[in-house]
């Protein structure tokens, strides 16, 4: 079993990210609880780790594994996107991804012995065979393809009718981010792109993605949707956009940025 769990004492004070199967416990006001653990009537946990600092206060991850009786205070990390600072969501991404990592790497994948938390870096180590593992992060590229005053938006099978976003896809082994961007756009909609520009990134803990955003110019080809992946795709005028992701998400920010730039 994993060792080195932090002991919670009467003096342990900070922000508490309490995680149960990817969900986070929030106060009735929808915030991350802060204070001395014993004063707050928080759900108990099996494993506690210091995962960083925010506003000069420690941030703790507490993994709660019991069956949840009251669902009302357990939320998806998406709820943290509504808070004024993006740091709450980023820390939530860290907390849920680390909780998943610890729960799914209790035993060595090479020899089957119990894993031990390394005390100077975020890793798990097998003392028997030396196998070391780090939290999994799956890079996923987002590409906003622009042609004149239009943007290419698509709807995947996961999205309801009428909801569109920019193209997205996971980076494959041995591939650069740029190669993944060109490949995904060609595969999903049959279009070629040029002038790829990095925009930014966003942790996306569902369950452990890192979104990496690029702008690109249309280079050629007609839209041909990939069966089984893309339900529909089209060029949308900047002034007549369908329902799109909110600006708290990187894809929403990129669509806004593409439209704002062309209106300069
Ligand atoms: Zn091992």
Q: What are phi and psi of 146, to 5 degrees?
A: -120, 140
Which range (68-72, 182-186, 202-206) has the least confidence?
A: 68-72
**In which band, very low, low, confident or very high, does the pLDDT at 3 lie, cut at 50, 70 and 90?**
very low
Taking the centre of ligand 1 as the mean of its atom positions, its distance from the CA of residue 224, in whole angstroms, is 47
Determine the pLDDT at residue 77: 95
Q: Does the pLDDT of residue 11 top 90, yes or no?
A: no
Tell me the pLDDT of the chain averaged across its residues: 93
Distance 117 CA to ligand 1 centre (A): 13
Residue 1's pLDDT band (boundaries 50, 70, 90)?
very low
Strand pairing report for 192-204 and 132-133: unpaired
pLDDT tens-digit series, residues 218-252? 999 999 999 999 999 999 999 999 999 999 999 99
Mean pLDDT on 100-114: 96
CA 181 to chain CA mean position, Å? 18
- Ligand 1 ion local residues (Cβ < 5 A): 108, 110-111, 113, 126, 128-129, 131
- Answer for the pair 215, 144: CB distance below 8 angstroms, yes or no: yes
């Amino acid at each position: 079993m994993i060792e080195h769990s932090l002991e919670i004492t009467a003096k342990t004070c900070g922000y508490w990210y309490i995680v149960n199967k990817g969900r986070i416990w929030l106060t009735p006001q929808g915030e991350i609880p802060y204070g001395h653990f014993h004063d707050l009537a928080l759900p108990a946990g099996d494993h506690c780790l210091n995962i960083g600092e925010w506003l000069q206060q420690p941030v703790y991850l507490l993994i709660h594994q019991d069956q949840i009786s009251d669902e009302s205070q357990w939320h998806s990390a998406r709820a943290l996107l509504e808070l004024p600072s993006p740091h709450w969501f980023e820390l939530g991404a860290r907390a849920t991804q680390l909780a998943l990592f610890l729960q799914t790497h209790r035993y060595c994948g090479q020899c089957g012995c119990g894993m031990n938390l390394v005390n100077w870096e975020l890793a798990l180590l097998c003392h028997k065979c030396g196998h070391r593992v780090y939290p999994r992060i799956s890079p996923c590229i987002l590409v906003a393809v622009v042609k004149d005053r239009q943007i290419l938006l698509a709807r995947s099978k996961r999205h309801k009718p009428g909801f569109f976003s920019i193209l997205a896809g996971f980076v494959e082994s041995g591939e650069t981010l740029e190669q993944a961007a060109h490949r995904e756009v060609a595969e999903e909609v049959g279009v070629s792109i040029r002038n790829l520009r990095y925009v930014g990134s966003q942790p996306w803990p569902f369950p452990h993605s890192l979104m990496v955003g690029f702008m690109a110019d249309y280079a050629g080809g007609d839209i041909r949707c990939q069966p089984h992946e893309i339900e529909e795709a089209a060029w949308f005028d900047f002034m007549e956009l369908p329902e799109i992701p909110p600006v708290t998400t990187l894809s929403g920010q990129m669509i806004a940025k593409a439209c704002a730039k062309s209106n300069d």
